[in-house]
Amino acid sequence: MPRTEFISTGFYVPDRVVRNEEFTQWMDTSDEWIRTRTGIRERHWAADDQATSDLALEATKVALERAGMKASDLDCIVFATVSPDYMFPGSGVYLQRKLGIANIPCLDVRDQCTGFLYGLSVADAWIRTGQYKRVLLVGAELQSVGLDLTTRGRDLAVLFGDGAGAAILGPTDDPGRGVLSTHLYSDGAYAELLWCNLGGTANRPRLSAEQIEQGLHWPKMVGREVFKHASTRMPASVHEALKVNGLTKDQITVLIAHQANQRISEMVQKQLELRDDQVYNNIERYGNTTAASIPIALDEYVQSGRLKRGDLLVLTAFGSGFTWGSAAIRW
Ligand code: UT7
């Protein structure tokens, strides 16, 4: 059975840069609070004429060009997002349409911050069994239009950013390379610790002016609980990935963890006893871009030239659901 390799990667963030200071015009916060509690200095926000699939399209164009491929070469699209263009259909078909292609499957993955890893796991299984040979995996988010920009929503509003990361995946016959394993977990017992109440079918009425007045359409989080779980479950899933493959932490070339909070990333690094050069973080410039954070960081790292063939790349994520997981990849 072949393994799955990353043929190329690409990312895109919108032009508008929103620095921490800007938030002080909308809510009671400060650059100092945001920087020291989260590590974030700035994030990018989309323009009014952009939807999530537009961000994904730009990231995809970069990945296609680097792969020397045309959109028509793709066999399948896997689109991970928690902020789709519309309630339905999923953003995958919009990306497909914008790419000018048809008649290939588009799978939309909604596993929040872990979406890219869930998508990778599915794409990897398809590629290994030979069902598809050229899979476009995208994580894209447009969070800025879904944030409560008042003091009531300040804990979440300052965290999130917009952006997209793409990877083109395919089979490799080199037995030493590719995705070694993926490890996925979830626990719905914690669903309401990070969620958005409104818009689904559990409420009667499904949507009312009164519910909106109460702010039920904004995402809500019990930050400290999420923090605790994120900083223990990510390292646990990395340990699992290492163990299954008979690897040790010293063999990790780079760990790219979902960029939720710099302090969480530092705790993950500490628990895994990794050196600074074994981790890559970029939350300072992009904030938390949910399903896009791993592929954006991955592409930045790849473009920096630091990831060489045969290196061990480990990915890990944690998010709403709760969902979490890891992947070990021999580059
Ligand atoms: O992406 C997937 C998952 N997401 C995460 O992993 C995020 C996990 N959680 C976190 O990153 C952190 O919990 C936060 C950054 C959200 C909050 O940091 P914290 O150190 O846990 O702060 P806290 O929630 O305990 O709040 C401390 C204080 C509170 O004030 P009082 O009650 O002590 O007076 C908050 O109201 O900070 C206040 N606060 C703020 N102050 C200024 C909360 N947000 C802000 C803000 N600016 N933006």
In this structure, what CATH number is given to the domain that contains residue 45? 3.40.47.10
Q: What is the pLDDT of residue 153?
A: 96
Do 207 and 150 sit in the same domain of this protein? no
Using the 3D structure, point to which of 152, 172, 192 is the last residue of a domain.
172
Do 263 and 201 sit in the same domain of this protein? yes
Residue 112 domain boundaries: 3-172
The average pLDDT across 21-26 equals 98
Is residue 29 in contact with ligand 1, taking CB distance under 6 Å? yes
Q: What is the pLDDT of residue 175?
A: 87
Task: Please give the tally of structural domains in the chain.
Answer: 2
Report CA(324)–ligand 1 centroid distance (Å). Answer: 21
Is 288 an active-site residue?
Answer: yes
76, 183, 258, 281: which one is catalytic?
258
Do 20 and 146 sit in the same domain of this protein? yes
Among 37, 40, 233, the mutation site with the greatest number of ligand 1 atoms within 8 A of its Cβ is 37
Do 158 and 259 sit in the same domain of this protein? no
45 pLDDT above the threshold of 90: yes
What would the pLDDT profile of 69-100 be if each residue is shown by its tens digit? 999 999 999 999 999 999 999 999 999 999 99
Is 258 an active-site residue?
Answer: yes
Q: What is the pLDDT of residue 65?
A: 98
Do 122 and 9 sit in the same domain of this protein? yes
Using the 3D structure, point to which of 172, 205, 238 is the last residue of a domain.
172
β strands within 82-225, DSSP E: 106-109, 135-141, 163-172, 178-186, 194-195, 220-221
Do 58 and 91 sit in the same domain of this protein? yes
Do 12 and 127 sit in the same domain of this protein? yes
What would the pLDDT profile of 190-248 be if each residue is shown by its tens digit? 999 999 999 899 999 999 999 999 999 999 999 999 999 999 999 999 999 999 999 99
**CA-based angle 265:331:309, to the nearest 5?**
120
316: β partners: 257, 326
Is 113 an active-site residue?
Answer: yes
Share of the chain above pLDDT 70, in %: 100
**In Å, how far from its chain's centre is CA 280?**
14
pLDDT band at 55 (very low <50, low <70, confident <90, very high): very high
pLDDT band at 137 (very low <50, low <70, confident <90, very high): very high
Using the 3D structure, point to which of 120, 138, 172 is the last residue of a domain.
172
Do 183 and 135 sit in the same domain of this protein? no
Do 234 and 138 sit in the same domain of this protein? no
β strands within 74-187, DSSP E: 76-80, 106-109, 135-141, 163-172, 178-186
Is residue 228 in contact with ligand 1, taking CB distance under 6 Å? no
The average pLDDT across 150-171 equals 98
